[in-house]
Amino acid sequence: MVFPQCVGATVPAAHTTGMRISRAARCSRLVFAPVLLVSTLLGTASLAAPAAVAGPSGPSGSWTNTFDEEFNGTAVDTTKWEPDRYGQDYGGDTPFNPGSEAAWFNTGNVSVSGGNLHLTIRDEPRTLNGKTYPYSSGVVQTAQHHLFTAGTYLEARINVPVCDGCWPAFWTAAPDVWPPEIDGFEYFDTGGSGADTKPQFNYHPPAGGQTGPTVYGDPAVDYRGSFHTYGLLWDGTQAVPYLDGVAYPSGANSDMTRLDQFLLLNLSVQGGHHPAPGSEMLVDWVRAWSPAPAPAPAPAPPTEVHGAIADHYYGTPGLAALFGPTTTPERTTPDTVGRYNHFTGGDGGSIYWTPNTGAFSVHGAIRGHWESLGWEAGPTGYPLTDERTTPDGVGRYNHFTGGDGASIYWTPATGAQLVHGAIRDRWASMGWELSSLGYPVSDEYAVPGGRRSNFAHGSLTYRFSDGAILIG
């Protein structure tokens, strides 16, 4: 998928030291597309390393290597990395914070040689979007090729330069929304007066605000100008930075994101500083691990599962283990259009298939509500997605074919609720659950002259007389 061109977030005036409030570009929520579902379901398993590498130097336990880049070639491996912000060369990328940075990103400043990735600063002025940047530098990111899921441990061996105003960083961001952002390390200035000699951890949670910057490392060590191993353990409940195999648990453990993340490495320049041209951030290798799964007994053979339903059951990572064996043979739906199997697990799980939709799973409270509405014969129609997590990490949802577009959303606080048709369209245009209305708290119901759905912070009413949608 293509990383959208988004507006870079700015630094509040209160941050007079030049600390960035965000590296990530603010992006709108992506609409449903099957390719995005595949990317999310694959997670870190989508790009396993071809050869065994040493285990992580940080956390103990049993780990499976899921990503490995040793930079042993002569060019950037574009099956893993993009050497720019937007997924292709636009003749120069603006920095993440144009108001406080002095270097634009040039793909020509990203190279691989001598077993290292080189991100190089050059004396190369260029005017972009009305601002002149006196220097150029480099960035690489994995958004187009690889997303990391909660439970990942990321590690990289990096040499940060000693140079005036240099701002190196090793960090992650979500591909379609900001915040969240997890900064495994930042050095805000590695060579000027009062230079940073140690890395700083920073976290921007989904609800806004900021944890950090927090300095970490051995108080007696200057970490600039030599290689050190930086790690980031992110398990969906906390983010913990590691340095040379030592954990520094003063990271973040509140409002922790579970959204898939991509990795970025960049060398920026603070405004008003004068780094020596040729200064470089060197990266020896980058690796990622997920916890090795505990051996599990083979699931009991299903009663019957085959065809497209079997492809989905076995081909979707984790689904067969979640659903377990079937409780039914494959059956035809009452309308004779679709086929389905029910399963023992997933708090009640089913996979439904039609020629037009393909096969999708539905389970738990959402399946229970779908059943209460009449399965595929009700206002929802057939499932059009598997169950997904909402961008804020709080809720779960399935989209369906019926009702001129239908969805069932669930949260622990609201339970499962149906929203569909014109009311759903208006809610979607406002930003779904991230809008001012929040999550649905009722199904659609009749009111005099129309239909209404209630939400956590208001309501939407469809008026029969003119088709207007009223916000209440």
Contacts of 268 (CB under 8 A, 6+ apart): 95, 96, 101, 103, 137, 166, 167, 168, 169
Mean pLDDT of 148-167: 97
- pTM beyond 0.75: the answer is no
Mean pLDDT within 10-30:
32
Predicted pLDDT at 445: 96
Give the torsion sign (CA, 355, 357, 361, 367): negative
Question: Cα–Cα distance between 210 and 23 in angstroms, integer?
Answer: 13
Length of the chain: 472
Tokens of 418: 């149906």
Q: Does the bond joining 297 to the residue before it have cis omega, within 30 degrees of 0? A: no
Mean pLDDT of 113-133: 96
146-to-115, 210, 260, 439, 448 alpha-carbon distances in Å: 22, 26, 10, 30, 51
Domain chopping of the chain, boundaries: 7-291, 307-471
Q: From CA 395, how far away is CA 360, in angstroms rounded?
A: 19
**CA 96 to chain CA centroid, nearest Å:** 18
**Nearest residue to 164 (alpha-carbon basis) of 251, 216, 103:** 103
Using one digit for the tens of pLDDT, what is the confidence trace for 88-97? 545 568 999 9
Does the structure show a pLDDT above 70 at 137?
yes
Which of these CATH numbers, 3.40.50.920, 2.40.30.170, 2.60.120.200, 1.10.600.10, describes 7-291? Answer: 2.60.120.200
Q: What pLDDT score was predicted for residue 303?
A: 64
For residues 260 and 33, which has the higher predicted lDDT (pLDDT)?
260
What distance in Å separates the CA atoms of residue 120 and residue 113, rounded to the nearest whole number?
A: 12
Question: Does 371 have pLDDT greater than 70?
Answer: yes
Q: What is the pLDDT of residue 52?
A: 59
Look up residue 426 and give its two tokens: 């208006």
Q: Which residue would you say has higher pLDDT here, 345 or 408?
A: 408
Candidates 266, 264, 212; CA nearest to 95 is 266
Distance, CA of 182 to CA of 214 (rounded, Å): 12
Contact yes or no for 28/4 (Cβ under 8 A): yes
Burial 444-464 (b: 16+ CB within 10 A, else e): beeeeebbbbbbeeebbbbee
pLDDT of 51 > 80? The answer is: no
Decide if 342 contacts 366 (C-beta within 8 A): no
List, for residues 402-449, the tens digit of each pLDDT value. Answer: 978 999 999 999 999 999 999 999 999 999 999 999 999 999 999 999
At residue 297, φ and ψ (nearest 5 deg) are: -65, 145
Burial class (CB in 10 A: 0-12, 13-18, 19+), 46: middle
Residue 41 has a pLDDT of: 26
232-267 pLDDT per residue, tens: 999 999 999 999 999 999 889 999 999 999 999 999
State the average pLDDT over residues 353-363.
97
pLDDT band at 293 (very low <50, low <70, confident <90, very high): confident
Euclidean distance between the first and final Cα of the chain, in Å?
A: 37
What pLDDT does 302 receive?
Answer: 52
Instruction: Please tell me the distance from the alpha carbon of residue 404 to that of residue 422, in angstroms, as a whole number.
Output: 8
CA–CA separation, 447 vs 461, rounded Å?
A: 8
What confidence category does residue 42 fall into, taking pLDDT thresholds of 50, 70 and 90?
Answer: very low
Quote the pLDDT of residue 54: 78
